[in-house]
Amino acid sequence: MNRRSFIRLIGGGVVFSATAGLTACSSEMPPEAIAAWQGPKPGTDVRKWILSYAILAPHSHNLQSWLVDLRTPNEIMLYCDLTRLLPETDPYYRQIMMSHGTFLELVDMAARERGIRANIELFPLGEFGPEEIDRRPLARIRLAKDPNIVKDPLFGQILKRHTNREVYDMSKAVPADVVQSMANSMRSYPIRFGFVGLDQSDTLEKHRAIAAEAWRIELTTPAKILETYKVLRVGAREIAKYRDGISINDPFLSVLVRLGLFDRSKAPKPDDSATVDQIENFNKNLESTPGFIWMITEGNGRTTQVNAGRAYVRVQLSGTAHGISMQPLQQALQEYPEQQASYKEIHNLLGASSPRYTVQMWARLGYGPQIEPAPRRGLEAHIAKS
Binding residues for ligand FMN, per CB under 6 A? 58-62, 95, 98-99, 102, 162-163, 165, 327-331, 374
Q: By C-beta, is 75 or 345 nearer to ligand FMN?
A: 345
Question: What's the count of helices (H) and strands (E) in the chain, helices before strands?
Answer: 13, 10
- Cα angle vertex 67, ends 66, 69, to 5°? 145
CB of 146 to ligand FMN, least distance (A): 28
Q: By C-beta, is 65 or 143 nearer to ligand FMN?
A: 65
Distance (Å, whole) CA 188 – CA 205: 31
Q: By C-beta, is 102 or 143 nearer to ligand FMN?
A: 102
CB of 16 to ligand FMN, least distance (A): 27
CB of 115 to ligand FMN, least distance (A): 27
Q: By C-beta, is 330 or 342 nearer to ligand FMN?
A: 330
CA dihedral 222, 225, 227, 230 (to 10 degrees): -120
CB of 172 to ligand FMN, least distance (A): 21
Q: Are 248 and 29 in contact (CB under 8 A)?
A: no
Which among 106, 165, 99 has a CA at the least distance from the CA of 363? 165
Q: What is the DSSP string of 169-184?
A: -TT-PPPHHHHHHHHH
Distance (Å, whole) CA 315 – CA 326: 10
Q: By C-beta, is 94 or 112 nearer to ligand FMN?
A: 94
For residue 119, the cross-strand partners are 142
CB of 176 to ligand FMN, least distance (A): 25
